[in-house]
Amino acid sequence: MESTFGGMLNEESEDYGYHYLSQRLYPTLPKEQLPPWGVLIHPDEIRKIFAMGNGKFITTTGDQLTDFQLKNWIDMTVQSFQEELQWDIYPRLWRHRPLGTDVRIIEPFAEWDDPYDYKYTESQNFLLATRRKPIIQLHKWDLFYPWTGQRMLDLRSRAIIKHKAGILQSVFVRTPWSNVAPVETGIMAWRGMAGAGNVPGAYLVDYSTGYDHASRVPSELKEQIIKLFLISVMSSFGDGIIGGMANYSVSTGVISESIGTTMSATSSFYGARILQLTNEIKDWYKRNKNKYSHINFGVL
């Protein structure tokens, strides 16, 4: 059954195993063999714990937030949070763009990543910092001649992956057709084959980032995602209950009723809680963002 409303938030998806996320980790597996990735935040957690007493999310006009809408909203919050943090949580599959005018068709669920420059003057090892992290799977890592499109080296089979740092290293590349030379001479020999040690090239990399299961996402990240999500929900649902209401009182005896209205963000419905969560998130960012975000560095 399709939703009567359009847009991503109204897609009626009930796959709480998130098998489509596993597809980004194991793109060659048939769909029926994909393991469940797991659910990071279930709508029931929001309804029965964080929105206790108002978990049905029914407005004064009878509108209601459904489970699939909450699920999609949570997913969108996760995607927005990981972009802000530059640290992938949901798995993502990155495919390199082709060199030159070549054409490459990738999966609908994959994303493009540009080739990486290889400059022999910048490193004594095959060392590469990927644009996204953490790395879960390395599907391909080749060194190509950019002007011919010919593969020079397959580095994947000898790669050492620093998953959290998003760094690939392949220092065990020996001299051509030999496994007896010292490790350090391997890259020098490959340079010499291309002429006077000058080997301009391009790394072409296919890899997956994020976490391989929902249970392995750190609790502190999940907590911040829940707070961001609650701010969005309370902002929308608060206006849906009674838009712009600041205070409400009823006196007995000579019965009277008083309602105060405001457009102030701090005095509206749920305003105090929204402000509290906003300050907590800002404080967390100041103390913890550098643990996850990219740090630029040079390799000598």
- Two structure tokens written together for 254: 């000579």
Q: What is the mean pLDDT of residues 104-122?
A: 87
- pLDDT of 227 higher than 60: yes
Q: What is the pLDDT of residues 240-297, one digit of tens each?
A: 455 555 555 666 666 666 655 555 555 456 677 888 999 999 999 999 988 888 655 4
Supply the pLDDT for residue 187.
56
Supply the pLDDT for residue 65: 80
CA distance 59 to 240: 5
Per residue in 167-183, is it b (16+ CB within 10 Å) or e — as a string? bbbbeebbbeeeeeeee
pLDDT of residue 150: 78
Over the stretch 31-74, which tens digit does the pLDDT of each residue have? 999 999 999 999 999 888 877 667 677 666 667 788 888 999 99
Q: What is the pTM of this model?
A: 0.80
Residue spans per domain, the chain: 8-20+40-87+218-292, 92-209
pLDDT at 126: 78
What's the pLDDT score for residue 201?
75
Q: Which residue did the predictor score with more confidence, 138 or 126?
A: 138
Where residue 196 falls among pLDDT bands split at 50, 70, 90? Answer: very low
Contacts for 21-24 with beta carbons within 8 Å, 24 or more apart?
21/90, 21/91, 21/210, 22/91, 23/93, 23/109, 24/91, 24/92, 24/93, 24/109, 24/110, 24/208, 24/210
Distance CA 177, CA 188 (A): 14
Residue 200: strand, helix, or coil: coil
pLDDT at position 127 is 85
Q: Give the DSSP H/E element, type plus range, for residue 188.
A: helix 185-193
**Percent of residues, the chain, with pLDDT higher than 70:** 68
Task: Tell me the pLDDT band of 298, cut-offs 50, 70 and 90.
Answer: very low
pLDDT band at 75 (very low <50, low <70, confident <90, very high): very high
